[in-house]
């Protein structure tokens, strides 16, 4: 199947600061009682965005200046915790197209890449620079060049790193591997036939 | 060349190299549950795909299933619908389903080992991050997302980058009253919640050699809390003895052949690790968390960290954030912190030996007034044996509610939830904000015996004092 080649993501950004932002915070477990991912965007960061009575708390995503942002900025170990794909799904359904952070938890990173949502790593200083530019002028266009591993914003630029397997998959439009995996089916059968425990 | 177990298992399951440099890896055993699989089955239907090797996927219900209701429809219509959805998909695609009616239902990471499905030298994937549990048997086991569940269903393979291997050796002897849970909380506090990113952890040393399979599972279970997607222990006689005679274990001549291959899969002497960490067992105390991630742990005799004394800016901010959420006082002893709820269960500590060990000490004691205490066996099998041994009665007599098998209050996708800012002494694996079902609920992670000590005293306590623990 033909997938979009994701070489760059451009849009406005919002900074959700903090380290170790876990998947329970991104999407609390009680909103995972669903048989499709549709509608998850509404519950993104729910417990840190909403009071018990449903009114808004102070949170960057509730700040009207950052409405419509498509790039999320955050800290170290973003997406740690559970393997729930509901977390990147909620981000994507909410409207995010990419995340720039100081680092990502392994499973979250893989899930996001498979959805075609680049997770790119930048230094703390550079994230602070982007955040400052966005804070000063929320309409600042932030451009992530996945291919060249750089980000440009408000006339400035910063280096980013994208894990090579993810970069390759994104820019060549093979981030959803199902087609390739199916092609490898006959080889998989051969490997399985050498493994005692896999016999039917 | 000498190889690690990880490399041997990886090589034996490598199908081919993918265009982006990742490996197409054969997933020998696929476990599924009701929360993360329905969307994957939906994708299968949308794409018109069939399940490649239905006999290698096993299903059960654990996350949502209520622990205090037995008959369907369950009171929560969404939960009821998700369970029925899984039942329907298993039937449609020909997948073995350990439903409640089979007597084999339970938390997926307890059911796999119990049934003998979890075996050394295998690859195991499941849409749950605590799949690392199965590494206790010398399997490479890891959590995956829902799209990858689709990949495994459709092809029995997935795309994965190779992990590095860090050997963590714990040598010496654990003090009395120090358990496997304390070992892993100590490891995470030492190496950090993201210290294991990009690694599989190989747990080794005298402590692991002596550990039972259930203790090894407790440690491997929480590998992901240290950022390591997988964690394993090399298989040995303890592993083989555990597996012998289980429903899915090899039988007869196959058993001998299997044991020989399992022995051969262990890491070779002289193999090279990407990193080695050594920990002295004597340095590990009964450990409790004070914050909002599993790495924020201290000895029960310790004091709650003071942000004013933090070394780094980051550390200061994270202590402040955690203490504000936990409503704890910097510098105060953690011991004596009042609790509202005691939870004993989960894929970390919901196995027979967890309940057995607590029951030894709980006999004749009572849960403190005002504390809600619940004990939740990890599987119907665990519940049955506890009933046969009278363990459930010890818990009930002490004032615990004794429940049916499930994930229960570990993640509170079922009716078992904290209310308001209740503080829970919990044998589970995550103390994230809101984890136990209330957006302001608070969790302190600890070993099962420490949960019991908190339950009977009404506050965080040193189980060694409460129960006069002299020897393990």
Q: How much is the pLDDT for B38?
A: 93
Question: What value does the mean pLDDT take over residues B340-345?
Answer: 98
For residue B313, give Cα distances in angstroms to A131, B180, B316: 18, 32, 5
Phi, psi values for residue A143, rounded to 5°: -120, 120
Nearest to B194 among A76, A115, A177 (CB): A76
* CATH topology assigned to domain B5-265: Aconitase; domain 3 (3.30.499)
Say what angle helices B213-221 and B352-362 make with each other, to 10 degrees: 110
Question: What value does the mean pLDDT take over residues A139-163?
Answer: 98
For B10, the closest chain A residue by CA position comes to A191
Find chain A residues with C-beta within 8 A of B79's C-beta: 33
Tokens of B326: 């936990």
Q: Does B154 touch chain A (CB under 8 A)?
A: yes
- Secondary structure (3-state) at A18: coil
Q: Is the predicted pLDDT of residue B443 greater than 50, yes or no?
A: yes
Q: How far apart are CA B232 and CA A107, in angstroms?
A: 18
Asked if B221 and B133 count as a contact pair (C-beta separation under 8 A), the reply is: yes
Average pLDDT score over chain A: 97
Q: What angle do CA B380, B382, B386 make, to 5 degrees?
A: 115
Q: Is the predicted pLDDT of residue B458 greater than 60, yes or no?
A: yes
CA distance B99 to chain A (A): 19
pLDDT per residue over B66-118, tens digit each? 999 989 999 999 999 999 999 999 999 999 999 999 999 999 999 999 999 99
Interface of A with B in 38-97 (CB under 8 A): 47-48, 52, 76-77, 80-86, 88
Q: Is the predicted pLDDT of residue B205 greater than 80, yes or no?
A: yes
**Which sequence spans correspond to the domains of chain B?**
5-265, 289-466
Question: What value does the mean pLDDT take over residues B169-192?
Answer: 98
Asked if A108 and A87 count as a contact pair (C-beta separation under 8 A), the reply is: yes
> Using 50, 70 and 90 to split pLDDT, how confident is the model at A9?
very high
Task: Give the domains, in start order, of chain A with CATH numbers.
Answer: 8-175 (3.20.19.10)
Indicate whether this complex's ipTM tops 0.95: yes
Tokens of B171: 């040598």
Q: Is the predicted pLDDT of residue B472 greater than 80, yes or no?
A: no
This prediction's pTM: 0.98
Q: How much is the pLDDT for B471?
A: 59
Number of Cβ atoms within 10 Å of the Cβ of B55 = 12
Q: How much is the pLDDT for A113?
A: 98
**Least confidently predicted of B48-52, B153-157, B279-283, B310-314:** B310-314
Task: Output B393-396 pairs: Cβ under 8 A, ≥24 positions apart.
Answer: B394/B359, B394/B362, B394/B363, B395/B355, B395/B358, B395/B359, B395/B362
Q: How far apart are CA B244 and CA B267, in angstroms?
A: 22
* CATH topology assigned to domain B289-466: Aconitase; domain 3 (3.30.499)
The contacts of residue A140 (CB under 8 Å, 6+ apart) are A12, A13, A133, A134, A153, A154
DSSP state of B281: G
Q: How much is the pLDDT for A1?
A: 59
Give the alpha-carbon dihedral of B118, B124, B130, B136, to 10 degrees.
40
Average pLDDT score over chain B: 97
Q: Is the predicted pLDDT of residue A199 greater than 90, yes or no?
A: no
């Amino acid at each position: 199947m033909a997938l979009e080649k994701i070489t760059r993501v451009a849009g406005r950004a919002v900074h959700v600061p903090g380290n170790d932002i876990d998947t329970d915070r991104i999407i609390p477990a009680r909103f995972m009682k669903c048989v499709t991912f549709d509608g998850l965007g509404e519950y993104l960061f729910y417990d840190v965005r909403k009071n018990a009575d449903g009114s808004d708390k102070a949170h960057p995503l509730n700040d009207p200046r950052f409405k419509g942002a498509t790039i999320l900025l955050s800290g170290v170990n973003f997406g740690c915790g559970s393997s729930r794909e509901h977390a990147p799904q909620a981000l994507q359904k909410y409207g995010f197209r990419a995340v720039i952070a100081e680092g990502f938890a392994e499973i979250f990173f893989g899930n996001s890449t498979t959805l075609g949502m680049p997770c790119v790593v930048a230094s703390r200083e550079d994230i602070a620079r982007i955040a400052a530019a966005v804070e000063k002028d929320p309409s600042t266009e932030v451009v992530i060049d996945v291919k060249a591993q750089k980000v440009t914003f408000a006339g400035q630029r910063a280096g980013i790193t994208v894990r090579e397997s993810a970069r390759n998959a994104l820019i060549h439009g093979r981030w959803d591997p199902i087609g390739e995996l199916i092609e490898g089916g006959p080889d998989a059968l051969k490997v399985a036939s050498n493994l005692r425990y896999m016999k039917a | 060349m000498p190889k690690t177990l990880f490399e041997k298992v990886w090589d034996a399951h490598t199908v081919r190299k993918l265009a982006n440099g990742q490996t197409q890896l054969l997933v020998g055993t696929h476990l599924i549950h009701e929360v993360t699989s329905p969307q994957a089955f939906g994708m299968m239907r949308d794409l018109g795909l069939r399940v490649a090797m239905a006999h290698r996927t096993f299903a059960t219900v654990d996350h949502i299933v209520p622990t205090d209701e037995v008959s369907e429809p369950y009171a929560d219509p969404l939960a009821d619908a998700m369970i029925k959805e899984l039942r329907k998909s298993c039937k449609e695609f020909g997948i073995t389903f350990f439903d409640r009616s089979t007597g084999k239902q339970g938390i997926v990471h307890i059911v796999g080992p119990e049934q003998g499905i979890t075996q050394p030298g295998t690859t195991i994937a499941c849409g749950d991050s605590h799949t690392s549990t199965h590494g206790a048997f010398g399997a490479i086991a890891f959590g995956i997302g829902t799209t990858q569940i689709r990949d495994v269903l459709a092809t029995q393979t997935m795309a994965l980058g190779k992990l590095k291997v860090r050997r963590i050796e714990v040598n010496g002897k654990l003090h009395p009253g120090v358990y496997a849970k304390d070992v892993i909380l100590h490891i995470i506090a030492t190496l950090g919640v993201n210290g294991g990113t990009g690694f599989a952890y190989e747990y080794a040393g005298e402590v692991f050699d002596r550990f039972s399979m259930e203790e090894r599972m407790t440690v491997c279970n929480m590998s992901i809390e240290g950022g390591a997607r997988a964690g394993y222990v090399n298989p040995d006689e303890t592993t083989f003895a555990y597996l012998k005679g289980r429903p899915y274990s090899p039988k007869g001549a196959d058993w001998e052949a299997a044991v020989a291959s399992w022995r051969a899969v262990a890491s070779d002497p002289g193999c090279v690790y990407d990193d080695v960490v050594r920990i002295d067992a004597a340095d590990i105390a009964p450990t409790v968390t004070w914050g909002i991630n599993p790495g924020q742990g201290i000895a029960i005799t310790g004091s709650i960290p003071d942000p004013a004394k933090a070394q780094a800016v980051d550390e200061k901010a994270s202590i402040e954030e955690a203490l504000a959420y936990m409503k704890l006082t910097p510098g105060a002893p953690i011991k004596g912190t009042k609790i509202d709820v005691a939870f004993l269960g989960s894929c970390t500590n919901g196995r027979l030996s967890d309940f057995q060990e607590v029951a030894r000490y709980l006999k004749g004691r009572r849960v403190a007034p005002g504390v809600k205490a619940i004990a939740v066996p990890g599987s119907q099998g665990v519940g049955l044996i506890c009933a046969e041994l009278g363990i459930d009665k010890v818990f009930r007599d002490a004032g615990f509610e004794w429940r049916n098998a499930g994930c229960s209050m570990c993640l509170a996708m079922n009716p078992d939830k904290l209310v308001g800012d209740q503080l829970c002494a919990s044998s589970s694996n995550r103390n994230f904000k809101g984890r136990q079902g209330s957006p302001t609920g608070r969790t302190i992670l600890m070993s099962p015996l420490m949960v019991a000590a908190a339950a009977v005293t009404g506050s965080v306590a040193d189980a060694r004092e409460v129960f006069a623990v002299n020897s393990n």
